[in-house]
C-alpha cells in the first residue's frame, strides 16, 4: 500500500472566518469551499477546515483507488463518496485519532 500525507483537517465553527484568518496569516489559497468545509493550500501542504458536526478533525492519507478498496475491506468500512469527487474511509488509530484514507478521481 502506497500512502502519502494529503492533508490535516481542523474543526471550525465558522468556515469563512477561518478561511480569512488562514489566508491573511498563512497565505492560504482556497482550493474548495462550501458552507460546511473548505480545503486550503498552504505552501506545499493542504489544510481542511471541517464543521464539527460533519467530520472529525483528522489526518488525511492519500491512497490509490485499488488500495482504498483493500483498506475498506480490511477495516470493514464502506467507501464514502464525497461531494468534491473524492472517495474515502475514516478509521481510528489505537489512540482514537481519526485517520482518513482518501482517493482522488483519476484525471
Q: Contact at 8 Å (CB) between 71 and 56?
A: no
Alpha carbons within 13 angstroms on the beta-carbon side of residue 16 total 1
Does residue 56 or residue 87 have the better pLDDT?
87
pTM: 0.86
Grid cell for residue 30? 482556497
The predicted model gives 83-105 an average pLDDT of 93
pLDDT value for 55: 82
pLDDT in tens, 16-30: 999 999 999 999 999
**What is the span of the domain harbouring residue 72?**
4-103
SS3 of 65, please? helix
pLDDT value for 101: 97
Number of domains comprising the chain: 1
C-alpha of 95 from chain center: 19
pLDDT in tens, 20-78: 999 999 999 999 999 889 999 999 999 999 999 888 899 999 999 999 999 999 999 99
Grid cell for residue 41? 493550500
Q: How far apart are alpha carbons 71 and 43 in whole angstroms? A: 29
pLDDT at 105 > cutoff 90:
no
Give the CATH number, domain containing residue 62.
Answer: 3.10.180.10
* Sheet arrangement for strand 45-50: 29-33, 37-42, 45-50, 4-11, 58-62, 98-103, 87-92, 80-81
Amino acid at each position: 500500500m502506497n500512502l502519502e500525507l494529503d492533508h490535516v483537517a481542523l474543526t471550525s465553527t465558522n468556515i469563512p472566518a477561518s478561511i480569512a484568518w488562514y489566508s491573511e496569516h498563512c497565505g492560504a489559497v482556497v482550493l474548495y469551499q462550501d458552507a460546511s468545509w473548505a480545503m486550503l493550500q498552504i505552501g506545499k501542504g493542504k489544510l481542511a477546515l471541517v464543521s464539527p458536526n460533519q467530520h472529525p478533525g483528522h489526518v488525511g492519507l492519500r491512497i490509490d483507488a485499488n488500495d482504498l478498496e483493500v483498506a475498506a475491506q480490511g477495516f470493514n468500512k464502506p467507501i464514502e463518496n464525497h461531494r468534491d469527487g473524492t472517495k474515502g474511509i475514516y478509521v481510528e488509530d489505537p489512540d482514537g485519532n481519526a485517520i482518513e484514507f482518501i482517493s482522488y478521481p483519476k484525471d
